[in-house]
Each structure stands twice: as structure tokens, then as C-alpha cells.
Structure 1
Amino acid sequence: MKAFRLHAIGEMPQPDDIVLPPPGHGEVRIAIRACGLNFADLLMIDGRYQERPALPFTLGMEVAGVVEATGPGVQGLQQGARVAVFAGSGGLAEYGNFPADACLPIPESMDFETAAAFQIAYGTSHLALGHRARLRAGERLLVLGAAGGVGLTAVEIGKLMGAEVIALARGPERLAVAQAAGADHLIDSAAPDLRGLLKALGGVDVVYDAVGGPAFMEALRAARPEGRLIPIGFAGGEVPQIPANLLLVKNLTVIGLYWGAYRRFAPQVLRDSLAELTRWHGEGKLRPHISHVLPLDRAAEALALLRSRTATGKVVVTMDRS
């Protein structure tokens, strides 16, 4: 089968022809239909992600497809079932073996492309804003990187939770995408004096930051008393160093969020979150934005769209089943 694999840290992944073994105990083999890309895939290539599979490995953290075979000990999943999996790796391939207990049924309201783009982006924002920051209706939410894969879902979910949403993104086209997702106020990331612009709006209660760098510090200084700041990634490449004295004098809270860790220490929290998100999607309350869908033989181009920040929302790679 065809797979897109990383052989050395810092080098471009390469297409390979590999043999997939039968699914092991507790595993299912999935005929992959779509794989959602994430900024974490780029971090894996660069050797900067917190989880590092042994080389060589197949990239692609979240997949959607059809169960083709089951390994020993698997119950409740049948051949032909439509499932989505957050696997951490293995998605940029025609087939993959994944833990059966990580598979979620894909509802009839979702196609494969949407299912492959859904879990990480929406799950991260839902847990960050609801479970961690306890965002309340009427509060003012600032989303940094508001047109990206996770940022756009934060705009959408924040608005759904009743917040007044400020979107920070680069350029009018990306800001228009954030506005369509529900943002009430738009700020170009190139604008000077972000702190002043935020204070002119009355400050912010919650900051959702997928970018890092100077914008986080400006938002920190514009936070209202008892504000909460959620760093969920550092796509800008710079990890902010947070001065504790500012947290003290304004009674601020910085809240970390790594969505994937919930699989290990609180899986029920993750399952409950995804169940609610799936219900919202079925009710038409969520409208996933996928800006690019490319075939597997153009996976390198798909990753380049992420690295250049050309894409808005999600980028999805599909497998040819003709």
C-alpha cells in the first residue's frame, strides 16, 4: 500500500510502498478515506512535538474510513463500519491498523472529509473554552490565529456559548473567514498596538492562543481582572515567557490545554466532549471549514499549505478508492 512516511527528523517525508501486517489484538484495519492535517504534523517533522514515534513512521494524526478487518479481542465493531480515529500517526496511508477503542462511529450527518477534520480542532476548542476556561455567556473572548484550523473552531464554539468574540488574524481574507464563523470584532494581526485596540473594546475575559509570541503578551496586558488565558499551541514559533507579577496584580489565570493527553488520564471527558460536538453538528450548529482537499500523492503540497499559513480552517488529504 501507499504511505507518506518520515524517515529522518527535519527532512521532507517521502511516499513509500509498504506492507501492512494484519491487525493485532484489540486493533482494526481501516481502509482510510480521508486524513485531517494539523500543525502538530509539522512539529513532528521538525522533531519538536511532545510525542515522537519511532522512525520511520507514517504521518497523519486523525483519520476517517471504513473498518475492513478486526483483530483478536475486538468486540462491537463490524466490517463496513464508518469510523473516525484520533491515532497520533498513521493517517497518510491507504490503510492503517488502529486501536478499536479509539474508533468513533461517524454519524450520517458527516462525510469522511468532515469526520477526518473534526476531532482535534473542535475537541481542542470545546475542552479549552468549556471544560478548562469555563467561558460564560456575555464574556469577551479573544482568539489569536482565528482563521487557522483550531482558531476558527474557537470562534465558532465561543459564539455558540454566548461569548462576544474578537478574532485576530492576518489580512482581510482570513478575517472574513473568521467573521463568517461568528466573530463580532475583527483585528488584523499586522495592526499596531494590539493592547490599545483590545482595551478600547473594554478588555478581554478569555484569551485562546494557538500562535504564541508577542500577541500573547499584548493580550495578557489587556486582560480584565480574573481573566483566563489558554495557550494551546505556538504556531508563531515563540513560546511566551509569562511574568508572574502580572498574573498576581490582576488575578489572572493561565490554563494549559493539550487535548491528546485526555486519551490517557481522563478519556471520559474527551468522549463526552466529542459526543456533544457531534450532536451540535447534527443539529446544524457547527459548520466545519475545510479550505483544501488534496489526494495522497499531493500530501507534501498539503503540508506546505499549513507551513505557509495559506490555508484557512482545515486541510484534508483523501485516498483514491477508484
Structure 2
Amino acid sequence: MKAVLCKALGPAQNLVLEDVASPVPKKNEILLDVQAAGVNFPDTLIIEGKYQFQPPLPFSPGGEAAGVVSAVGEKAGNLKVGDRVMALTGWGSFAEQVAVPAYNVLPIPAQMDFTTAAAFGMTYGTSMHALSQRGQLKAGETLLVLGASGGVGLAAVEIGKAMGARVIAAASSPEKLAVAKAAGADELINYSEASLKDEIKRLTGGNGADVIYDPVGGDLFDQAVRGIAWNGRLLVVGFASGRIPELPVNLALLKGAAVLGVFWGAFAQRQPADNAANFQQLFAWFAEGKLKPLVSQTFPLAEAGAAIEMLGQRKAVGKLVVTMA
């Protein structure tokens, strides 16, 4: 099979496309014929050795995939050859085949195509866990989404609206904000032109945002935490800005606020029943037309490195997907 390989830690330009042996699934795994694979921010980190875990070299990046089950281990549950599924792989998805533990595999709804499915699992799974289990977002509350035109940001906008919140989308350009507006955002903040902290206060009548969804970190975190409401919840999703911020904890004290970490991958493994319930709701909202994953660009397998580079430079809107066709 063909696979994109990281043979030495470094930039995406160093990735190579090679023929390698197909993986052999273990007893608790399925072998997936990959049709499409989502590109996510962890892909930009794992190839440079900057992520929470590091697979041994050489490895294929790509943390999520959609395709058809081609082989099933004897302890892989109810999955069977021919099933259309999406899978959380951690790495290995930028290849024609990948072996995946059965507990990280979900059937794809009949009305969902492979490209959409490859863009769905990680972003919507992360945002649903963030807003439901961690943020406990309630109908009528105000949700602020930073980086609102990216994959997880757009998912958070849509899920927030589906949960009945008033959603404020924040991004760095009018073009990105237009995408967030189309996804259902009620109010917009261009933080390249105005103070994020001041705009939060203006749009909330001085009360602040009840829940803040932050996949960006850096300076925006510093401003956002100062615009949080009494009993507010700030969700730490990631650090796309490149700087991990430090929190003056007196700000949490003064607002009775909570700063909550979001690590969906660990949640999915530790609380599989809760994760499955999340996806049951997500698939229902998808069927109702409330969730519309935006895939802005697809890349052939040979150009997976270019897709990772585009995402790392924060040039992507919505999701980028690598396809095998």
C-alpha cells in the first residue's frame, strides 16, 4: 500500500510517499481501507515531535479517517467486513490502509459521505465534549468561540447554536467571520481590528461570556479570560497561536470562574459510553441539517504534506481532507 511517511522529525516538506507493507490488525482491531482522512492541528505538531505522544519513526501522520472495513480481529466486537466507518487513529491515516482499535471506530450514517465523515469525528467530537461535559453549556447562555472559522471553531459555533446558546464568533478577518456567520453565529468580533476584551464586554452588556471556547491560546486567551462572566467556564482546547498562556489565578477567583482542560481523545477512551452518546446526538443534528461540516479543500494522498503545512500556517478555513481517490 502507499503511505505518507515521517522518517525524521521536522517540517511537513520532509514527508515522503512510499510503498509499505499493509498493517495486520490485532485481535481487538479492524483493518480500514481508507477513503478519506481529516487534517487536524495535532498533525502539525506530531511530525515535529511537539505533541503529547510520539509514535516511533517512521510513521504516517493523520489522526482520523473514514472508509470501509476490510478485515476484523476476532475480538473486534460487532464490526464486520464492508461496514462504512469513521475512526480515530492517533496517527497512520495518511495511508491506503490503517489498523484501528475497534473502540475507536463508529459506523457512518447512511446519508454521510466519506469526505464529510473524515472531517467530522475529531472536530465535532472535541467540540461536543467541550461544550457538553466540560463547559456544561445551557440554552440561553452566551458562548464565545475563538478561532471560529477553523475546524473545531466552526463545529463549536454549530453545536452551540444547536444547544440553544447565543454564539459570539471571533476570528482574524472579515472573510473568516463571514464563514462563522454562515454557520449560525449571532455576533462577530474581528480581533485583528478591535480589542477582544472590549468587544466581549460591549456585546454582553458588561456581563461577559458564560462559556469561552479557546483553541488558540496566546494573547487571545489573555484577553478572553478578562471577559468571562460570573460563574463562567473557559475551555482550554489548544494553542494554535503557538504560545501556551499563563493564567493569573486571581481572575478566576474574582469571577468565580473555572478554567477547564479539553482532551477529547482521552475522554473517548476513558468514557466510551458518554462519547457514543455524544455522537448519537451529533448524528441526529446532522440528519436534521443543524450540522454542516465545511470541507474547504481536498488533497490527494501525495500532497498530504501540503495540507498539513497549510493548516500549520493558519491559512485553512473549515476542514482540509486528504482523499485516496
TM-score by length of 2: 0.95
Deviation at residue 146 of structure 1 after TM alignment: 0.3
Q: Are 1:235 and 2:240 matched, yes or no?
A: yes
- 3-state secondary structure, aligned to 1:43: helix
Could you tell me how far 1:128 is from its partner in structure 2? Answer: 0.7
Q: In structure 2, what is the Cα distance between the partners aligned to 1:222 and 1:101?
A: 39
Give the structure 1 partner of residue 127 of structure 2. 125
List gaps (5 residues or longer) in structure 2: none
Superposition deviation, residue 75 in structure 1: 4.1
What are the Cα deviations for residues 26-58 of structure 1, in whole angstroms up to 9, with x where unaligned?
Answer: 222211100001000001012111121111111
Single out whichever of 143-152 and 11-20 deviates more from structure 2.
11-20
Helix, strand or coil: the match of 1:224? strand
**Any residues of structure 2 matched to 1:68-217 within 5 Å, and which?**
68-202=70-204, 203-217=208-222
Between the aligned partners of 1:115 and 1:150, the Cα distance in structure 2 is 14
Match among 36, 41, 44 for residue 43 of structure 2: 41
Q: Does residue 305 of structure 1 match 2:282? A: no
Amino acid at match of 2:259: V
Match of 1:253 among 247, 252, 258: 258
Query: Conserved in 1, the CA contact under 8 Å of 2:23 and 2:31?
Result: no
Distance 2:272 2:103 in 1: 11
Match 1:276 to one of 265, 273, 281: 281
Q: Distance in 1 between matches of 2:77 and 2:239?
A: 39
Displacement of 1:295 in angstroms is 1.0
Hey, what's the Cα distance between the residues in 2 that align with 1:303 and 1:234? 16
Q: 1:101 deviation in Å?
A: 3.0
- Secondary structure of the residue aligned to 1:57 is coil
Name the SS of the counterpart of 1:53 in structure 2: coil
Q: How many residues align?
A: 320
Which is further off, 66-75 or 110-119?
66-75
CA displacement 1:219-260 (0-9 Å, x = unmatched): 111112111100100000111100111111111110111000
Stretches of 4+ aligned residues off by more than 4 angstroms: none
For 2:271, the equivalent position in structure 1 comes to: 266
Change beyond 3 A, Cα 1:122–1:75: closer
Deviates more, 1:88-97 or 1:16-25: 16-25
Contact conserved, 1:27 with 1:97, CA < 8 A, in 2? Answer: yes
| 8 A Cα contact 1:152 1:181, kept in partner | yes
Give the secondary-structure state (helix, strand or coil) at the position aligned to 1:206. strand
Greater Cα shift, 22-31 or 35-44:
22-31
Distance 1:190 1:137 in 2: 29
More deviation in 107-116 or 21-30?
21-30
Change beyond 3 A, Cα 1:163–1:24: same
Is there any run of 5+ residues in structure 1 with no aligned partner, and where? none
Q: Provide the rounded CA distance (Å) in 2 between the counterparts of 1:95 and 1:259.
A: 24
SS in structure 1 of the partner of residue 47 of structure 2: helix
Q: What is the percent sequence identity of the aligned residues?
A: 48
SS at match of 1:58: coil
Partner residue, 2:4: 4
State the alpha-carbon separation in 1 of the partners of residues 103 and 252 from structure 2. 40
Distance 1:22 1:308, change over 3 A: same
State the shift of 1:78 in Å: 2.0
